[in-house]
Structure 1
């Protein structure tokens, strides 16, 4: 099951890019330049420099020191609660666990906002101790992240073109990390991925947040999290979602499914909002904006699940609440049989209704985002809603038919999404609608239109 927001891999995508996304890839097809680029990634970034420094730190030393101190405190807490903490967490409902993750991210953002408001002249100390060669390497790292995003998520990539350059690059870096994480359990090497491999991937994540990236794509994320108030917990939770995919193929109820949807998709919202920013004129609370971002991730993943029922069944997986199937007189055997019946239609109507409720919850929060960040979010929201429409148009046959939005509908959705992005809290000046055409039309050919 693919994580929401990580659009299906283009069948014509370069094999080299796919290899670059995979952990442990040893080679890629293509020309020598691409092969050399991959080898450069595998070499890592801990390069010695003349004059003393033993490694390149992608995070300013002041920030790194704070993070290492926080990490030490967290480690001490983990040791003291080793016997009780996992047990307590297991007794929490999915809603409680997700609420804690949201509240933690909100607290970090509000603390940053408070610091900025108290000291408007505050400037992050990032550049001074970073070698010029490292800055050049970062520029290349972000460029590659943008190329990966453009290759695998064309519509989303187009939506980022209105964002400020710094936010745009940061979103690309987060997208690439999520893409690589998803590829671990949903890519060509998925059959060889073990829990130990995911543990190692999480170790790499910890290194990223400590400013010690393993490769160039990690370096872009390390730089991003040093500049934006992004918490590590949603990233850890996404890896937990991949762990669930390794060991779990059934979900007893919606509480279990909700936790899975949060882990693999709701987390993306929590990672992204600190980058996208909240409109300065917004009257909404920070908590409500993050709740909306979470709702959008849940809605997108529920849509993915409903679209992919037949595909997942062929892999022996059922991402549908077992108790709700039973309430409609359905079993796994009905799903494996793949026949659309009146019971199935009634069940699907109920599932689609719930997904749409999450979309409705998300819509108001999109208006509260910074005006330059709304377009990609509206684009994703409207496109995923149309997948639900396509399931209905297929008479709820998601066993043998894959609901999708064709290229022309995608193209038509972009101006609609842009129009929604112009809606704003009072006092925010709108961008000229004319500007969209200079962005969309040159890009339409790469969309295949």
Structure 2
């Protein structure tokens, strides 16, 4: 199960490619990293869901604090990698290759909100128009380099040859990452990424943790509790969100600490990951993977057999309402990220947030079906792009715009 998160590219799609790339296949100052206690307490589906997993929380918190410390240090030490920069690579060609690959992948990988390819293509085209106006080319080349590295890593496990990938293959990929960070890129794509990390303070640990998410997909198809699922979601989605925030940058008006911004970015990533999981339950089950907390299933009187049979029961409805409630709580927490970003980046995060919420609404409207994959049709997708841009300009909340989207889709169906 690969991820989908949102980073950017003015070529145009890198932002969206990354921000929906960490999502499925992934701090408030010194407070709790992701408000797990309040979020979990709002979900009473099982005893364990209301307990805070200190070990998992502390593990992720330390990684985020390390990234925050790196940002502060690199602000003081700009050009840290410059002395290591190699001269044997053509950076223009390297970035061109990244842009080409990212653009090629975007139509199938960008926003997986619909199985209807014309719908996806239309949305992709509109995003290209808006992003080409808003985003600066140099920064977006960096987004392309980052998006391509994540894509190539993801393909090791979820690509057409993923069946042959072993832990040793991922170990070699991680060694290649180490070489890249020490000025020894292996090809043009790596050269572009090395140049990117010379200009943006992104800790190697985030890349290593993303690779660890691929390892988890190799060896794990069940998650005993939400704490395990949260950790998985951090690896495949949260890491990408934290990388993307570094490239997007915060607004000059933002008073938030790096830890606070990262907390919101993680919540945004977790919300996206959980939404994808809930949308794809039937499809994942047919591939032998169930990304739902096993203890919460048991507490609801359900098991893998219920999912494999695909019969919607009252127990299933009640269970799914709790899961959707959790995803919405993370979405609300992640929404706080938007106000801290540069104005040109806000609309894309709004777009993903609004689409995620529509998917959750559609799962409910479809009576939590195992066979019908919740999607957002072309009309709602395109109107949501406009609505997201309107929110980002107005700085308001999303509720009124969600209602506007629904109204416009009723008045102008197509």
- Name the TM tier (shorter chain): 0.7 to 0.9
Q: Is the 8 A contact 1:249 1:318 kept in 2?
A: yes
Q: Is the 8 A contact 2:275 2:360 kept in 1?
A: yes
Separation in 2, partners of 1:129, 1:209: 10
Separation in 2, partners of 1:125, 1:191: 37
**CA distance 1:92–1:364, change in 2 (3 Å):** closer
Separation in 2, partners of 1:211, 1:125: 8
- State which of 404, 407, 412 in structure 1 corresponds to 2:378: 407
Number of positions where the alignment pairs a residue of Structure 1 with one of Structure 2: 336
The alpha-carbon deviation at position 424 of structure 1 amounts to 5.0
The alpha-carbon deviation at position 163 of structure 1 amounts to 2.0
Separation in 2, partners of 1:98, 1:331: 29
Query: CA offsets per residue over residues 36-55 of structure 1, 9 Å max, x none?
Result: xxxxxxxxxxxxxxxxxxxx
- State which of 104, 111, 117 in structure 2 corresponds to 1:148: 104
1:382 aligned to 2:354? yes
Moved more, 317-326 or 377-386: 377-386
> Which residue is 1:20 aligned to?
none
The alpha-carbon deviation at position 417 of structure 1 amounts to 1.2
Query: CA offsets per residue over residues 343-397 of structure 1, 9 Å max, x none?
Result: 1011000000000101100111111011122222222222222211121121111
Q: Is the 8 A contact 2:351 2:384 kept in 1?
A: yes
Q: Is the 8 A contact 1:94 1:255 kept in 2?
A: yes
1:235 aligned to 2:191? no
Query: CA offsets per residue over residues 207-246 of structure 1, 9 Å max, x none?
Result: 2212222222222211111110111111111111111111
> Which residue is 1:19 aligned to?
none
Separation in 2, partners of 1:124, 1:209: 12
Separation in 2, partners of 1:216, 1:224: 12
SS at match of 2:90: helix
Separation in 1, partners of 2:79, 2:2: 39
SS at match of 2:144: helix
Separation in 1, partners of 2:79, 2:232: 38
Q: Is the 8 A contact 1:176 1:217 kept in 2?
A: yes
> Which residue is 1:272 aligned to?
244
1:284 aligned to 2:246? no
Separation in 2, partners of 1:292, 1:254: 19
The alpha-carbon deviation at position 127 of structure 1 amounts to 10
SS at match of 1:211: coil
1:167 aligned to 2:123? no
Separation in 1, partners of 2:88, 2:167: 39
> Which residue is 1:179 aligned to?
151
Instruction: Give the TM-score normalised by the residue count of structure 1.
Output: 0.70
Separation in 2, partners of 1:424, 1:282: 13
1:103 aligned to 2:65? yes
> Which residue is 1:211 aligned to?
183
> Which residue is 1:349 aligned to?
321
The alpha-carbon deviation at position 4 of structure 1 amounts to 2.6
Q: Is the 8 A contact 2:95 2:144 kept in 1?
A: no
Q: Is the 8 A contact 2:6 2:241 kept in 1?
A: no
Separation in 2, partners of 1:314, 1:128: 48
Instruction: Give the TM-score normalised by the residue count of structure 2.
Output: 0.75
The alpha-carbon deviation at position 285 of structure 1 amounts to 1.8
The alpha-carbon deviation at position 137 of structure 1 amounts to 2.5
> Which residue is 2:409 aligned to?
none
> Which residue is 1:324 aligned to?
296
Separation in 2, partners of 1:328, 1:296: 27
Q: Is the 8 A contact 1:160 1:168 kept in 2?
A: no
Q: Larger RCO: Structure 1 or Structure 2 (Cα < 8 Å, ≥ 6 residues apart)?
A: 2
Gaps of 5+ in 1: 8-90, 117-121, 426-448
**CA distance 1:248–1:150, change in 2 (3 Å):** closer
- State which of 216, 226, 229 in structure 2 corresponds to 1:244: 216
SS at match of 2:183: coil
> Which residue is 2:308 aligned to?
336
Moved more, 197-206 or 211-220: 211-220
> Which residue is 2:225 aligned to?
253
Q: Is the 8 A contact 1:313 1:336 kept in 2?
A: yes
Separation in 1, partners of 2:106, 2:158: 20
Q: Is the 8 A contact 1:2 1:304 kept in 2?
A: no
Moved more, 327-336 or 405-414: 405-414
Moved more, 210-219 or 338-347: 210-219
Separation in 2, partners of 1:128, 1:353: 48
Q: Is the 8 A contact 1:103 1:287 kept in 2?
A: yes
Separation in 2, partners of 1:255, 1:341: 26
